[in-house]
């Protein structure tokens, strides 16, 4: 899910930085106040989660948890993911510093969207709650993968091949995340219900 | 419910990690072997390999086998080789290999040396993990200071 340096053309790299900068600017405004400690905690979770791999037949894919950030932080997911990805690039050579903009955008945008789409489902009970938890994970993870496939297609790769590879690698990851979200959100709803409120 | 939780935890604890691809080269019986791995030690199968001159002229290309290896005979007059590996979905690695320099080494041509250098599935480097966590909380701490100051000034 982390694009390496030197794969994407320069214009995509530049565009990625531009969009990430915008998202981060909006996000930093939204984070002001009580969301900040939560953002720190979730950034830490994201930073560590990418080190955990879900072994899949074809290769291995790691957990992302970007959907959770989108759900609980809204636009604040942009700065949070940017910090997390920066440290992953510097410390573990995941991705790279030049493509950091693209990588942050790829993971943050679908996460913000997933949060928007399914926040109200999460507030409900029963089937809708579980569907919301799983769909948040699926939208965020697969959305990131498909954005990546699209960017690689614009760089001259076959879209369908990459898109199918994304699905094969990340469907299990998304399912695993959905399961974790369901437990985590159940716990949060019970003990910290205001975390799920307002975060436009 | 408890069973589900245990399953989720087990899934979390499985020791495998990657998302970077690493590249190794060694000479063996006059052929060069390119060996590609993910950091957890899984071979990068079916990755595209391109061998170039330092000026970027394509000499030959191929794909890695099930062990993540690609073997080729380097051109006799080749000095420095540039090796590019593309493992799909944006994962790329490159390195350069100097035939002359490697041959001049006392341990030249021993692939086992590369095998020894092969990253073992040891999992993440915990020192770096903690270092990163420290940075995260530090950065957000600074941010909260900045926000607090602004509020105080307003």
Cα–Cα distance for residue pair B142/A13, rounded to 1 Å = 28
Most confident of A16-25, A33-42, B16-25: A16-25
How far apart (Å, rounded) are the C-alpha atoms in residues B88 and A99? Answer: 16
Which of A3, A62, A179 comes nearest B90 by C-beta?
A: A3
Chain A CA closest to residue B138: A40
| Residue A112 clears pLDDT 70, i.e. is over it | yes
pLDDT score for A100: 95
B137/A44 touch (CB, cutoff 8 Å), yes or no: yes
Between positions 79 and 138 of A, the ones with CB within 8 A of B are 83-84, 87-88, 91-94
Mean confidence (pLDDT) of chain B: 75
Query: What's this model's pTM, rounded to 2 decimal places?
Result: 0.81
Sign of CA dihedral A133, A136, A141, A142: positive
pLDDT for the residue B93: 85
Which of residues B24 and B152 earns the better pLDDT score? B24
Q: Locate the domains of chain A by residue range.
A: 10-196
> Residues of B numbered 93-152 whose beta carbons fall under 8 angstroms of chain A's beta carbons: which are they?
93-94, 123-125, 128-129, 131-133, 135-137, 139-141, 143-144, 147
For A147, name the nearest residue in chain B, comparing CA atoms only: B89
Mean pLDDT along residues B97-119: 59
Give yes or no for a contact between B33 and B111, defined as CB atoms under 8 angstroms apart. Answer: yes
Q: What is the pLDDT of residue B133?
A: 93
What phi and psi values does residue B94 have, to the nearest 5 degrees?
-140, 155
Partner residue opposite B89 with nearest CB, options A5, A39, A162: A162
- Given a cut of 80, whether residue A185 has pLDDT beyond it is yes
H-state helical runs in chain A: 10-31, 35-49, 66-73, 77-92, 100-123, 127-154, 159-191
Give the pair of three-digit tokens for residue A177.
């995340």
Mean pLDDT, chain A, as a whole number?
89
pLDDT at residue B118 is higher than 60: no
In this prediction, residue B45 has a pLDDT band, given cuts at 50, 70 and 90, of confident
Is residue A10 scored above 80 in pLDDT?
yes
Best residue of A35, A48, A55, A62 to probe chain B, by most B CBs closer than 10 Å: A55
Residue A17 — pLDDT band, cuts 50, 70, 90? very high
CATH of domain A10-196: 1.10.1760.20
pLDDT of B138 strictly over 90: yes
Minimum mean pLDDT range among A7-21, A97-111, A131-145, B119-133: B119-133
Nearest of B51, B109, B49, B106 to residue B75 by alpha carbon: B51
Q: Which residue carries 């909380």 as its tokens?
A: B137
* Mutate: best of A29, A51, A81, A148, partner B, most B CBs <10 A: A51
Banded pLDDT at A198 (limits 50, 70, 90): low
Task: Please answer whether residues B22 and B85 qualify as being in contact, where contact means their C-beta atoms are separated by less than 8 angstroms.
Answer: no
CB contacts of B42 in chain A (<8 Å) are: 59-60
pLDDT in tens, A45-94: 999 887 776 666 555 567 889 999 999 999 999 999 999 999 999 988 88
The phi and psi torsions of B115 (rounded to 5 degrees) equal -60, -35
| Predicted pLDDT at B13 | 38
The residue ranking higher by pLDDT, A200 or B130, is B130
User: What are the helix (H) ranges across B14-154?
Assistant: 99-104, 111-117, 126-153
Task: Check CB contact of A39 with chain B, cutoff 8 Å.
Answer: yes
Interface mutation vs chain B, best among A59, A145, A185, most B CBs within 10 Å: A59
Chain B contact set for A5 (CB, 8 A): 92
């Amino acid at each position: 899910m982390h694009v390496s340096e030197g794969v994407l053309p320069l214009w995509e790299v530049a565009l990625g930085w531009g969009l990430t900068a915008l998202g981060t600017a909006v996000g930093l405004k939204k984070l002001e106040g009580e969301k900040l400690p939560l953002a720190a905690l979730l950034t830490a979770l994201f930073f560590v989660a990418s080190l955990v791999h879900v072994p899949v037949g074809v290769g291995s894919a790691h957990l992302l948890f970007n959907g959770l950030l989108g759900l609980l932080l809204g636009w604040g997911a942009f700065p949070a993911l940017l910090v997390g990805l920066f440290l992953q690039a510097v410390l573990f050579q995941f991705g790279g510093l030049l493509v950091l903009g693209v990588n942050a955008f790829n993971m943050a945008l679908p996460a913000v969207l997933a949060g928007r789409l399914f926040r109200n489902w999460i507030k409900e009970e029963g089937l809708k709650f579980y569907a919301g938890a799983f769909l948040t994970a699926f939208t965020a993870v697969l959305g990131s993968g498909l954005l990546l496939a699209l960017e690689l297609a614009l760089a001259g790769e076959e879209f369908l091949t990459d898109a199918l590879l994304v699905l094969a690698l990340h469907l299990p990851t998304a399912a695993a995340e959905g399961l974790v979200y369901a437990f985590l959100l159940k716990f949060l709803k019970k003990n910290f219900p205001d975390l799920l409120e307002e975060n436009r | 419910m408890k069973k589900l939780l245990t399953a989720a935890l087990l899934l979390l604890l499985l020791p495998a990690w990657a998302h970077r691809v690493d590249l190794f080269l060694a000479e063996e019986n006059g052929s060069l072997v390119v060996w590609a791995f993910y950091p957890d030690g899984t071979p990068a199968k079916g990755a595209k390999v391109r061998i170039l001159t330092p000026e970027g002229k394509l000499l030959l290309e191929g794909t890695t086998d099930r062990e993540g290896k690609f073997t080729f005979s380097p051109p006799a007059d080749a000095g420095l080789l540039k090796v590019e590996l593309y493992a799909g979905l944006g994962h790329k690695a490159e390195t350069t290999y100097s035939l002359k320099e490697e041959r001049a080494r006392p341990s030249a041509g021993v692939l086992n040396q590369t095998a020894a250098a092969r990253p073992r599935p040891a999992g993440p480097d915990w020192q770096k993990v903690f270092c990163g966590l420290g940075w995260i909380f530090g950065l957000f701490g600074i941010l909260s200071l900045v926000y607090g100051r602004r509020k105080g000034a307003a």
